Amino acid sequence: MSKASNAEHDAHRPNVKAFMIVFGALLCLTLLTTAVSRMHLEHAAAISVGLLIAVVKASLVAAVFMHLWGEDRLIHRILYAVAFFAVFLVSLPLMDAHLLTPLKTDRAPVASQHPDEGK
């Protein structure tokens, strides 16, 4: 084999060291997710922290195992646009829950105004 074909063959070999580092990071993030789930956070905060950890884990998997780390700029721009819209769509229910929580009504005054209903 010539030197050019050896270099080309070596360029396509998997980087086992990077895979092991990402595996360790995914393991630590999974343990962090478990630890956060055992904490008694507010509902919106628990969802936000869980989603943040999940996004970091998904980014690691996509970058290393799906080989997006060395892709062209066009692929990265499309990925950023998709990520932006995903964050936007996830944030809508969280904003809705945050804005509507103070507006929830107490059931006791409404029930006392209509004593005949529900029997």
Q: How far apart are the C-alpha atoms of 87 and 59, rounded to whole Å?
A: 13
In whole numbers, what is the pLDDT of the chain averaged over residues? 80
Are residues 54 and 36 in contact, defined by beta-carbon separation less than 8 angstroms?
Answer: no
Is residue 88 in some structural domain?
Answer: yes
Is residue 37 in some structural domain?
Answer: yes
Is residue 109 in some structural domain?
Answer: no
* Number of domains the chain contains: 1
Chain segment 50-86, per-residue pLDDT in tens: 989 998 999 899 888 887 777 788 888 888 898 899 8
Is residue 42 in some structural domain?
Answer: yes
Residue 76: the pLDDT is 81
Q: How far apart are the C-alpha atoms of 93 and 87, rounded to whole Å?
A: 11
Chain segment 2-46, per-residue pLDDT in tens: 565 666 666 667 788 888 999 999 999 999 999 999 998 888 788
Is residue 92 in some structural domain?
Answer: yes
pTM of the model: 0.59
User: Which structural domain range is residue 92 located in?
Assistant: 3-101
Q: Is the pLDDT higher at 46 or at 95?
A: 46
Start-end of H helices in 12-105: 16-38, 43-60, 73-100
Is residue 89 in some structural domain?
Answer: yes
Which tokens hold the place of 117? 């209903």
Is residue 83 in some structural domain?
Answer: yes
Residue 4: the pLDDT is 58
Instruction: Name the residue with tokens 């080309």.
Output: 8
Is residue 118 in some structural domain?
Answer: no
Instruction: Name the residue with tokens 């945050």.
Output: 98
